[in-house]
Chain A
Amino acid sequence: MNEVTVAVRARATNPTGRRAKGRGGLGQTAAYAVLVALALFVVVPFSWLILAAFDARATIFVKVPETWTVGNFRNLFADQDGFRLILNSVIYAGGATVVLIVVTTMAGYVLSRFDFPGRRPLMLGVLLIRVIPPTATIAPLYVIATDLGLLNTYRGVILILAALEAPLVLWIMKGFFDTVPIEIEEAAWVDGATRFGAMFRIVLPLAGPGVAAGGLIGFIGAWNQFLVPLVLISDQDKVPVSIGLFRAWVSYTRVDWGFLAAMATVYVIPAIAFYVIARRALQASIAGSLAGT
């Protein structure tokens, strides 16, 4: 997903200022038509979310509210359970992000800086692990989590969410460390800095935006997760928003749609915001060898 930054940046710096000529007319009109149709396809489903969230009498149907209100949001935060769901999501995704940043920064740094036997197979192995979907291993994962006493615990879900995002984020981190020339580091050693000192004081600040971006991408993944908490968390005080939405949705009737839409909105905002921020952070760094990550 980081590619977008490359795209944006490339376009921005591309000095092709010419206006299009030639076949223009008809072809371009058709192209606009396609793009507008697609934009509608993409945007329209959001209409329910936003309208219902501010509707005092929301339903499952898209309609312009007769009475606009922020009451749904007020209820959400005043209501113990609504607030609890959001807090739980923050704990899971936040915790997973912290774990992720620590472990993938360390591993990414080493993979970027050291050549050692098995480095390349290891990198490719990590890539292959990305192929394993949680759906395939969820049954044994449940059993393992039970045996380790991780069921119905924050730490269990945090660690598993971190593990699921780790391969991708590790590759991203490694890519960012690659962009910091080792010469800068070596210069610091000459000036008497220790290896760790140089890493913390020189490399991390330079790769900092990249590290943050990797963390945010991990956060988004963890924030969205549904299957893992569905299976590992049955204590209703510990379920995250994704499960809360599902439970409310499958209760079918007399659902408070406004409340639900407000919760979904609050749930979407960090995901989109962090994505935008991560994009900027990615732009700020030198998004070099990230193809396919």
Chain B
Amino acid sequence: MRPVRNWRDALTVVGFLAPALALVGLFIVWPAVWAVIQSFTNRSLTGAGALNPEFVGLENYRRLVRDEDLRSSLLRTAWFVFVSAIVGQTVVGFVVAYLMAERPGWRLRFMPVFAAIFVLPLAVPETVAALTWASMANGTESGLLNRALGTVDAGPVRWLQDHAFATVSVVNVWRGLSFAMVLFAAAFAGFPQQVLEAATVDGASPSQQLRQVILPILRPQILIFLMLTTITSFGIFGLVYFLTRGGPGNETEIVGIYIYNQAFRFFDIGFGSAAGVLLLLILLVPGVAYVRLMREQA
């Protein structure tokens, strides 16, 4: 890397950075700023607020604070993140990557086959993931899950009606598990084997190795993944919207769907923007943690 030494270098730097920064600035940063501005108005897509949006001060935030639907939506989202992203993806992903990783005294076969299989859902568009799971979780006797239950004389269960939240959580695990496994597999691959060998020589049991050697060394990668998946799961929309559109009732109305509904179903752009600002503030916490972790890594 070279310092910028003359005006030509400076011009190059600015000129080369400009298009990317303009793109990101215009379509990501500016909307975030605009969200704040708009959240103080009653701008709407229909009704009088569409024709003449007015400044309403903190009215939208006052409503936000009092809105029980928002509160339950946030709690639901936090639970969704915890169940599907933190427990489902991270823990299961780590365990599987651990099982698959080669280490002294442990080597499983067919790992490339398993690796290839586990990676599949990663590339699947969320709409297709939702569609296939809609088939799996069909509530009649002919749905595949219910047929499986039928073999033990149970069911049929109306998965997407009576257990919608659990079902969409499982689908999110399905979709995100691959990413966790891939990331942790890489972490294991880069793991200093000699440390483990030394531990083995010292007579450490596998569980001691895991707790005292592996986990501490992989801590940064684990934390980074945790932050990433928390952030992504908080922002999920399509996967759940496709399957349930937030229903039945409000059972699967995670915050992404809440915002969409406020803005594009009730057409309340000002209020939807305020809810978006709130989501941004919430995500700032894992976001900053993520950036700090990455900075330490770099």
Contact = CB atoms under 8 A, between A and B. Distances in A.
A and B touch in the complex (CB under 8 A): yes
Interface of A: 1, 3-11, 14, 16, 18-24, 28, 31-32, 34-35, 38-39, 41-49, 52, 59-62, 99, 102-104, 106-107, 109-116, 122, 124, 126-144, 159-160, 162-164, 166-167, 170, 182, 195, 220, 223-224, 226-227, 230-231, 241-242, 245-246, 249-250, 260, 264, 267-268, 271-272, 274-275, 289, 291-292
B187 interface: yes
A106 B32 contact: no
A42 B288 contact: no
B189 A10 contact: yes
Nearest to A34: B99
B183 A3 contact: yes
B4 interface: yes
Contacts of B107: 16, 18-20
Contact of A4 (B27, B125, B185, B293): B185
Interface of B: 1-4, 9-10, 12-13, 16-17, 19-21, 23-24, 26-32, 34-35, 38, 43, 92, 95-96, 99-100, 102, 105-108, 111-112, 114-115, 117-129, 131-136, 138, 142-144, 174, 177-179, 182-183, 185-190, 193, 206, 221, 224, 228, 231-232, 234-238, 241-242, 245, 255-256, 259-260, 262-264, 269, 272-273, 276-277, 279-280, 283-284, 286-288, 290-291, 293-295, 297-298
Contact of B9 (A48, A114, A230, A272): A114
Given A131-B287, A140-B38, A160-B27, A3 B186 contact: yes
Contact of A242 (B238, B272, B277): B238
A10 to B, nearest CB: 4
19 contacts: A20-B106, A42-B178, A43-B117, A44-B136, A48-B136, A113-B1, A115-B2, A116-B13, A133-B234, A136-B32, A136-B35, A137-B32, A139-B38, A163-B23, A220-B123, A224-B126, A226-B127, A250-B245, A264-B131
Nearest to B232: A133
A172 B256 CA distance: 27
Contacts of B2: 113-115, 182
Residue in A124, A126, A291 with the greatest tally of chain B CB atoms within 10 Å: A291
A292 B32 contact: no
A195 B23 CA distance: 25
Contacts of B272: 138-139
A135 B255 CA distance: 9
Contact of B108 (A31, A102, A292): A31
Contacts of A52: 135
B126 to A, nearest CB: 6
B259 A135 contact: yes
A106 B17 contact: yes
B102 A14 contact: yes
Contacts of A49: 128, 131-132
Given A135-B260, A163-B28, A245 B128 contact: yes
A291 B134 CA distance: 35
Contact of A106 (B19, B138, B144, B228): B19
A116 B291 contact: no
Q: Considering the complex of A and B, which 5 residue pairs feature the smallest CB-CB distances, nearest first?
A: A133-B235, A3-B186, A131-B287, A226-B238, A163-B27
Nearest to A48: B135
Contact of A39 (B28, B118, B283, B293): B118
Nearest to B230: A131
A70 to B, nearest CB: 19
A1 B31 contact: no
A224 B125 contact: yes
Given A116-B13, A124-B295, A133-B234, A267 B125 contact: yes
A231 B125 contact: no
Contacts of A131: 231, 283-284, 286-287, 290
